[in-house]
Structure 1
Amino acid sequence: MKNLLATIALMICPSLAVSQSIATDVVENHILPRIATLAESGQTLSEAATADCTATSEPLRAAYGDAFDAWIAVSHLRFGPIETAERGYALAFWPDSRGATPKALATLIRDADPIVETAEAYSDMSIAARGFYALEFLLYDPTISTAGDDAYRCQLVQTVTADIANLTEDIATDWQDNYAALLTNPSQNSLYRTDAEAAQELFKALNTGLELTSDARLGRPLGTFDQPRPTRAEVWRSGRSARHVAVALDSLRDLATRLSQGDPALVSDVDAVFARAIGQIEALDDPVFAGVATPTDRIKVEALRSRVDEIRAIAGLQIGLHLGVEAGFNSLDGD
């Protein structure tokens, strides 16, 4: 009789069978490798700035691109070590609707503020002047990248990259030493009491990434038909707007597939819809979404956003049902 009841329970709620292993798989094969890459690339970026701090340095710009890719690949994990001490915002203060980042950097450079002398002191600086988006201005903005004294600006670049290295190393250490075990070993006295709660955290991360991609990375430059906003695209100065969408979708595809394990048909559906979206971004040939200003090209970006929203619908309904969870609170809400 007990065996019969167990079989019926699994038929009604397949999540009972998969949730026990899903968090371990996601942590070991999705999160930890990407977090390790983030920390390694953050250190490489800092070393590149130490070797050559000039804005046009190709090795520095390449290291910036690699480290930024690594961040985008984990930018949906807005919980735990990334959320602690606002590390995620310190690494990635965007959207910046009020232009706080260039204002903060311009003030630092104008005043030659000594806070740039050490990364430890700089960690008390406003998040608007820290992280990858501040570094984009320092490397690619024609005004900020040439403002003030060359030596001071060099020190600022080196300190911002050292701060990035410290933040990414702290995130990796916390994941390795503590948070991975919290997600993979739920208990009644722990942050996650059950496997289902751990699965819900990961499901929420998937929804966070999809929302950020649709509403901010694509929605902001699209604006409206009458008033498109191409210069609101993410990192358009460095020509990386479309790349960020592609990197994010590739990482979210891996997470969504892992969350769908145990249901081969769902895995196939998820993989197919992500493949179509990634194919659309690869065929777009518009690295900064400048085409949103022209009707012919705008429709391509709108179609891409619609595809991402299709993924959101599948995630919200089918993956959520598969796991037996709801998206819950989104860490991006209210930003």
Structure 2
Amino acid sequence: MIRALALSFAMILPISATADQVDAILDRHVLPGFTDLAESSLVMAQVAQSDCAPSSERLQAAYSSSFDAWIAVSHLRFGPTEIENRGFALAFWPDSRNSTPKTLGALIKDQDPIVSDPEAFQSVSIAGRGFFALEYLLFDERLSTLGNETYRCSLVQAITQDIAVVSQAVNRDWQDRYDALMRTPTQGGIYQTRAEALQEFYKALDTGLQINADLRLGRPLGTFAKPRPKRAEAWRSGRSLRHVRLSLEQLRVLAWLLTAGNAELAQELDTKFGTALTRISALVDPDFSSVATPAGRIRVEALQQAINDIRTEVTQSLGPALGVSAGFNSLDGD
């Protein structure tokens, strides 16, 4: 975790969108993150080929490592992750209609031979692909034992291989094409100025914070009268709290890189991230089940408020400093 933020006096607003700043974000945050995802997902797929049982410690460990890598870059939902709905193919959540267990149940019931054809498997509904589909097959009591064991093994192998293929495609697009588009904006290109490239990263920071506050925490919180702990992300595998922590750690890095040139703002944001991460350490339930109790709810609400405080600082201070705004995103509604 990046903690040391050197303070110097002669920093003024607005922060200039320099090539060095965009380069630093790509070199220190984006490219390593997607390389890690590609490599860890390939390892997971290889493990599944020889060890596909839900109880397999090797497979669960590989799944955890690869899912960690996705969460670390999951806020970068533009460019290569948008192509062919790759981001949703890797992580279809929230699933408000329970489409994932329905899709998996139908595949298992029919013993659909599509699992034996990696290219054809990409035509399966995104609800039946990615990390959350795999979570059901590894950790859900019903889906992990449903139907024929041999077929379930083939399905696990198909999903892990699909995750690896998609992850490598995203990484390849970043390395071979999108990296250059952001480093060298051109007239008529996707990014025509460095400021536009920098705004993309600012939007990713803002949206990542909103996802943590409104979805990862807001969904299980529900209402005081009706908390919804089983709406938490990845609660079956006990990863709900872990996802918030991993995401905030990476968003903190991105915020630090975006504030290069303004030590005072960098320190302010770092302090707020520190507060949120400290509140995470006070939580003891990995799946947010404690929201069903008054004391547990208060602690999760305090964490949510700490994240919203970061987002307010980002919106009110960092955006103007950069001369950009987040605009609207898919979470804002109409």
TM > 0.5? yes
Equivalent AA in structure 2 for residue 226 of structure 1: A
User: In 2, distance between residues paired with 1:133 and 1:181?
Assistant: 32
Runs of 4+ in 1 over 4 A off after TM superposition: 10-13, 331-335
User: In 1, distance between residues paired with 2:64 and 2:11?
Assistant: 47
Per the normalisation by structure 2, the TM-score is 0.95
User: In 1, distance between residues paired with 2:331 and 2:268?
Assistant: 27
- Provide the residue aligned with 1:124 in structure 2: 123
SS in 1 for 2:144: helix
- Provide the residue aligned with 1:62 in structure 2: 61
User: In 1, distance between residues paired with 2:172 and 2:328?
Assistant: 26
**More divergent stretch after superposition (141-150 vs 282-291):** 282-291
Q: Is the 8 A contact 1:256 1:270 kept in 2?
A: yes
After superposition, residues 27-38 of structure 1 pair within 5 angstroms as 27-38=26-37
- Provide the residue aligned with 2:43 in structure 1: 44
Q: Deviations over 1:69-90 (max 9, x none)?
A: 0000000001000111100000
How many equivalent residue pairs?
Answer: 325
TM-superposed CA distance for 1:19, in Å, is 3.6
User: In 1, distance between residues paired with 2:13 and 2:296?
Assistant: 44
- Provide the residue aligned with 2:14 in structure 1: 14
Q: Deviations over 1:243-282 (max 9, x none)?
A: 0000000000000111111000011111111011111112
- Provide the residue aligned with 2:76 in structure 1: 77
Q: Is the 8 A contact 2:12 2:262 kept in 1?
A: no
After superposition, residues 299-318 of structure 1 pair within 5 angstroms as 299-318=298-317
Q: Deviations over 1:122-148 (max 9, x none)?
A: 100000000000000000001000000
- Provide the residue aligned with 1:248 in structure 2: 247
SS in 2 for 1:144: coil
Equivalent AA in structure 1 for residue 47 of structure 2: A
TM-superposed CA distance for 1:300, in Å, is 0.1
User: In 1, distance between residues paired with 2:89 and 2:75?
Assistant: 15
Q: Is the 8 A contact 2:12 2:261 kept in 1?
A: no
Q: Deviations over 1:47-102 (max 9, x none)?
A: 11011000110000000000000000000001000111100000000000110000
287 and 174 in structure 1: CA distance in 2 versus 1, 3 angstrom threshold: same
After superposition, residues 1-335 of structure 1 pair within 5 angstroms as 13-15=13-15, 17-333=16-332
Q: Is the 8 A contact 1:78 1:331 kept in 2?
A: no
**More divergent stretch after superposition (28-37 vs 277-286):** 277-286
User: In 1, distance between residues paired with 2:14 and 2:313?
Assistant: 17
TM-superposed CA distance for 1:12, in Å, is 8.0
User: In 1, distance between residues paired with 2:237 and 2:318?
Assistant: 35
- Provide the residue aligned with 2:7 in structure 1: none
- Provide the residue aligned with 1:5 in structure 2: none
Higher percent of residues as helix: 1
